[in-house]
Amino acid sequence: MTHHPRVLGIDSGQTAIKVSIDDLTIDYPGVRTNTELLPQLADVIAQTLGLRSFGPVQVAIGTTGLTAAEDDPGALLGLVASHGVDRVLLAHDSITSFLGAIGFARGVVCAAGTGVVTLGVGRDRVARVDGWGNIMGDAGSGYWIGREALDAVMRAHDGRGPATALTAVVTERFPVLEDAYIQLQTDPDKIRVVASFARPVAGLASTDATAASICQRAGRELAHSVSTAAHQIDEIDNPLVCLIGGIFAAPSIRAACIDALTAEWPGLVLHPAEGDGLAGALSLPALPAHHPLADRVAVAG
């Protein structure tokens, strides 16, 4: 068996692409979901490995936007082999978020940032819940919260909804509210722009009824995903649950999620995250062959 002395770990999300090898950690701009994924990853790998001489390297990646068509580590290896890469492990970021948070244990991990995905791993079952992107899913995510805020502001503007302090937040970015939808539709960075409103929504939750309602609904959506995953993997007796990602840093959203979960499991004690998605990516080479997630990691080299 070929010895791979170094692992280049990549946690590739919509907000940022985080890379680590040896003592080097770098953040690159996030994945653009409107263009091909593998060339973007290849560029990041080439830039990183061009910084110094590393020798033979295996690349372990957890990424958002991984479709069946692009789940091809062999194609990626072909793009980066000239940079010293001799092995590629490629997985959806739900898998690496799970592994980073609770390692090789059984349980449910909900990772909520710009997008959101929940993964449940049981004794012999795996369940992915949501993570279907901003058009079809990502309920409770930063994008979802931002989209709800924009909707509430425009409802207040045209008289369909109550006044809200969120209007002042949105008009800081879009002084002419009636032009905002055109500006967003033509903005190539619109996903991150919309998601950027999640932070002020959480900040206003204690003083604004509209913001509070959005946060409550976001928390309940995230709890629903966790519960769904737990039931699908038959881990319904006080399951191990871990909540990770920037959305759970908002007290109102985290509390709403936990309230919904403890209504179903009164004895639930949340598991603290052991690491992040980057740590999960770095652990891919050590994933046991018998683990339920092993056949969801594609390998070339």
How is the chain split into domains, by residue range?
7-97+277-300, 104-273
pLDDT the model gives residue 76: 94
The residues that bridge with 193 in the sheet, in sequence order, are none
Whether residue 146 contacts residue 122, with contact meaning beta carbons closer than 8 Å, is answered with no
Residue with tokens 């680590």: 20
Overall pTM > 0.85 = yes
CA distance 15 to 247: 13
The residues that bridge with 17 in the sheet, in sequence order, are 12, 28
Whether residue 118 contacts residue 108, with contact meaning beta carbons closer than 8 Å, is answered with yes
pLDDT the model gives residue 287: 94
Q: Which amino acid, residue 93?
A: D
Instruction: HSE, CB side, 13 Å, CA atoms: give it for residue 195.
Output: 21
Residue with tokens 């263009």: 35
Whether residue 86 contacts residue 96, with contact meaning beta carbons closer than 8 Å, is answered with no
Whether residue 232 contacts residue 123, with contact meaning beta carbons closer than 8 Å, is answered with no
Cα of first residue to Cα of last residue in the chain, in angstroms, is 11
pLDDT the model gives residue 153: 98
**Arch. (CATH architecture) of 7-97+277-300:** 2-Layer Sandwich (3.30)
pLDDT digits (tens, 9 = 90+) for 119-169: 999 998 999 999 998 999 999 999 999 999 999 999 999 999 999 999 999
The residues that bridge with 70 in the sheet, in sequence order, are none
pLDDT the model gives residue 1: 40
Closest CA to 14 of 183, 149, 193: 193
pLDDT the model gives residue 125: 93
Whether residue 73 contacts residue 90, with contact meaning beta carbons closer than 8 Å, is answered with yes
CA distance 95 to 118: 9
Are 7-97+277-300 and 104-273 the same fold in CATH?
A: yes
Query: What class is the 104-273 domain?
Result: alpha beta
CA distance 269 to 231: 17
Whether residue 59 contacts residue 45, with contact meaning beta carbons closer than 8 Å, is answered with yes
pLDDT the model gives residue 4: 58
Which stretches of 93-157 are assigned E, i.e. beta strand?
107-112, 116-121, 126-129
What residues in the chain have per-residue pLDDT under 50?
A: 1-2
Residue with tokens 């409103």: 197
CA distance 108 to 209: 31
